[in-house]
Structure 1
Amino acid sequence: MKIALLGYGKMGKVIERIALERGHEIVLKKGSNDAFDGLTDADVAIDFSIPDAAVGNISACLNGNIPVISGTTGWLEHYHDMAQLCEDKNGAFIYGSNFSLGVNIFFELNKQLAKMMGNLKQYKVSMEEIHHTQKLDAPSGTAISLAKDIINYTDYAGWAIGNPKEGDIFIDAKRVEGVPGTHTVNYDSDIDSIAITHTAHSREGFALGAVVAAEWIVGKTGIYSMKDVLGL
């Protein structure tokens, strides 16, 4: 499989290594200021770039009939535009706030816990996410996905990283050197607390999931998620 890497920072380099180990070929390694030379040779593209570049990268792929996997966060105000472009072009697209196989299992655990806690009003929900200092967006896309799933099954109406209003889930977004990603969901009452946590030990989990998603989407059309890839 021929892969175009859109974004060639630390994550892009880990994706490259894992893709090569799995027998794939890299035909484009695009940094922020590079052209798309080689994109038309690709069977699939993997976008781990920056928020300002994501829409342009995804658009170029969909307009060029190249299936695209995007793990870039911080651009989701344009998600529906990209989804519409994918439908218009009969393309293939997966966006994931987190491609780690473990995190996607964590997403499902979070949903199940939220369903069970929805009627227990004595518990107050909060979240903590910790990432490396190079991460540009806060809170993380993973934290937002977790919050949205909690909102779907409880009376919470939104989330906030500053001073939460009544009905908001407080997300404590921390940036610590060398931390790949840790997410904790807390349910606290006066008598006890319940917490679930996912801790990434390296970037390899995110990179492997992105390559697995790229392998899965080739030959398909439509808009998918990691839940589809993993059959969850």
Structure 2
Amino acid sequence: MMKPLWGIDLGGTKIEGVILKSVNDPEVILRKRIPTEQAKGYEHIISRIKTLLDQMAVEAGIQADKIGIGTPGTVDPLSGLHKNSNTTCLNGKHFHEDLQKALSLPVVMANDANCFALAEARMGVVNKEMPEANVVFGVIMGTGVGGGVVVNGKVLRGRQGISGEWGHNFLDESGGVAYTGRKGVVETILSGPALEKFYRSLTDENKSLKEIYQNYKEGKDEAAKKTMNRLTHFFWFGNFCGDQFA
């Protein structure tokens, strides 16, 4: 009998967990999310993941024997250290190893954009709408901006483990400085926090992107309109003119 599959999506603002019935029957048994609270640091994030899994086990009435997790950034193939995460407290740490110790479970870890791209290529919209596609590029736009490439059904990781990442290519000077020190990269313009920052620069108001979008739909907030226009303009520009920034 096939066992349920447990998965975690670690984001900058939320941690979401899911339990699927089996690899051959991906019916959702339980889905749950809690805030990441990344400002409280590295050990706290690990404790939050454990808290979420404990809550899921109680609610589902079953225990995990293995966890799959998609993370911002990636494990460096040479050093084993986490790197390139916009949740910067993970960088330079043995995150994979430390998480396994904290959970007392085997953990399979991969970049979240790679996980997303692979899932869509094998099980999602690409598989349903374009099953003949040999190359799939998956885009993540959230707290950070990432990407993954799948070729012939397999993730293309690259020597440095960051193949497909596009969030730190230069896009426009107006984006300001990223955590890497580079100026005007995609993530400083198209990420959720970057768009919230842009709105705040126009209004001196702190609003979530969800609130900004709602104001935009209602058509009564000029700053919200400018913020969403900035998103659509630079998303189109970054994708269709990206060869200029290679």
Give the shorter-chain TM-score range.
0.3 to 0.5
TM (norm. structure 1) is 0.34
With CA pairs under 8 Å and 6+ residues apart, which has the higher RCO, 1 or 2?
1
- Give the TM-score taking structure 2 as reference length: 0.33
Q: 1 or 2, which has the higher strand percentage?
A: 1
